[in-house]
Amino acid sequence: MKCVEHAQHNLEPKPYEDMVVSRRVVRLAKLLILIVSGPDQPAKVKAGLGLSIVAKQSPELEAVKLCFFADGVEVLTETNRTRFAKLVDKAQELDIVTIACQLHAEQKGIAEEIRRVDPQIDLHYVGEDLVKALTEGYEMVSF
């Protein structure tokens, strides 16, 4: 059994090298799902929420976060949340870190409503969180 280095230099492996098991470092992926579609695009919202649930249950992922951003914050209003309640509730039940963009909610005049309807949602200015997630190695997927 020759490793790449030995093969390139036409060297014979040392006897103990046949016994060495690969020391490959496996880094588990981290996923941040952005829900940027509003309630007028329920298939996209449900796909993003569904993926967050499946991802959280996967042993292949180290961490999963969920962020309602842009028009996605509208999903969390009293009028719209009922359409997505099963999936949002399941994400919360699985302890998926769930944040929502306060700036977009304020621009739409719905920040206080979101806080009242679902106090478990961490509504704040999320720009720094998104940058930090990138530096921490999170893959971002938007729906």
Q: Per the domain annotation, does 36 fall within a domain?
A: yes
Q: Per the domain annotation, does 14 fall within a domain?
A: no
Q: Per the domain annotation, does 74 fall within a domain?
A: yes
For residue 54, the domain's CATH number is: 3.40.1260.10
Q: Per the domain annotation, does 35 fall within a domain?
A: yes
What number of helices (H) and strands (E) belong to the chain? 6, 5
- Collapsing DSSP to helix, strand or coil, 135 comes out as helix
Higher pLDDT, 21 or 35: 35
User: Between the CA atoms of 99, 100, 103 and 109, what dihedral angle is there, to the nearest 10 degrees?
Assistant: -140
In this prediction, what percent of the chain has a pLDDT beyond 70?
Answer: 81
The count of domains in the chain is 1
pLDDT at 6: 47
Q: Per the domain annotation, does 18 fall within a domain?
A: no
Higher pLDDT, 6 or 30: 30
Give tens-digit pLDDT for 49-102: 999 999 999 999 999 999 999 999 999 999 999 999 999 999 999 999 999 999
Domain limits for position 40: 28-142
Q: Per the domain annotation, does 3 fall within a domain?
A: no
Name every residue whose Cβ is closer than 8 Å to that of residue 72 and which is 6 or more positions away in sequence.
34, 35, 36, 37, 38, 45, 100, 101, 104
Q: Per the domain annotation, does 63 fall within a domain?
A: yes
Residue 9 binned pLDDT confidence (cut-offs 50, 70, 90)? low
The pTM of the whole model exceeds 0.85: no
Residue 28 binned pLDDT confidence (cut-offs 50, 70, 90)? confident
Q: Per the domain annotation, does 2 fall within a domain?
A: no
